[in-house]
Amino acid sequence: MSNTTRSTVTLASSGITPADVVAVARHDARVELASEARAELERVRGAIDAMAASDTPVYGISTGFGALATTHIPAFKRAKLQQSLVRSHAAGMGPAVERETVRALMFLRAKTLASGHTGIRPSTLDTYLAILNAGITPVVREFGSLGCSGDLSPLAHCALVLMGEGRATGPDGVELPVGELLAAAGIEPVVLAEKEGLALINGTDGMLGQLVLALADLRELADVADVTAALSTEALLGTDQAFRAALHEPLRPHPGQGRCAANMTAVMADSPMTASHRTDCTRVQDAYSLRCAPQVTGSLRDTISHATLVADRELAAAIDNPVVLDDLTIASNGNFHGAPVAHVLDFLAIPVADVASMAERRTDRMLDVARSQGLPPFLADDPGTDSGLMIAQYTQAAIVSELKRLAVPASVDSIPSSAMQEDHVSMGWHAARKLRQGVDGLRRVLAVELLAATRALALRAPLQPGPAGTAVLAALGDVVTGPGPDVYLSDELDAVEAFVADGRLLTTVRAVVPL
The b/e string for 175-209 (b: 16+ C-beta within 10 A; e otherwise) is: eeebeebbeeeebebbebbbbbbbbbbbbbbbbbb
Prior bond of 322 cis (ω within 30°): yes
Please, what is the Cα angle at 315 between 310 and 319, to 5 degrees? Answer: 100
Q: Please tell me which residue in 59, 128, 288, 394 is annotated as part of the active site.
A: 59
Dihedral of the alpha carbons of 303, 304, 307, 312, in degrees to the nearest 10:
-150
User: CA torsion sign, 363 to 364 to 369 to 372?
Assistant: negative
Residues 358 and 355: their CA atoms lie apart, in Å, by 5
Q: Containing H/E element for 9?
A: strand 8-11
Residues 260 and 358: their CA atoms lie apart, in Å, by 14
Dihedral of the alpha carbons of 35, 40, 43, 48, in degrees to the nearest 10:
-120
Judge whether 59 counts as a catalytic residue. Answer: yes
Computed on alpha carbons and rounded to an integer, the radius of gyration of the chain in Å comes to 26
Q: Containing H/E element for 31?
A: strand 30-33
* Residue 155, helix vs strand vs coil: helix
Q: 108 near 182, Cβ under 8 Å?
A: no
Residues 354 and 372: their CA atoms lie apart, in Å, by 22
DSSP state of 481: -
Q: Which residues contact 217 (CB under 8 A, 6 or more apart)?
A: 1, 439, 443
Could you list the active site residues? Answer: 59
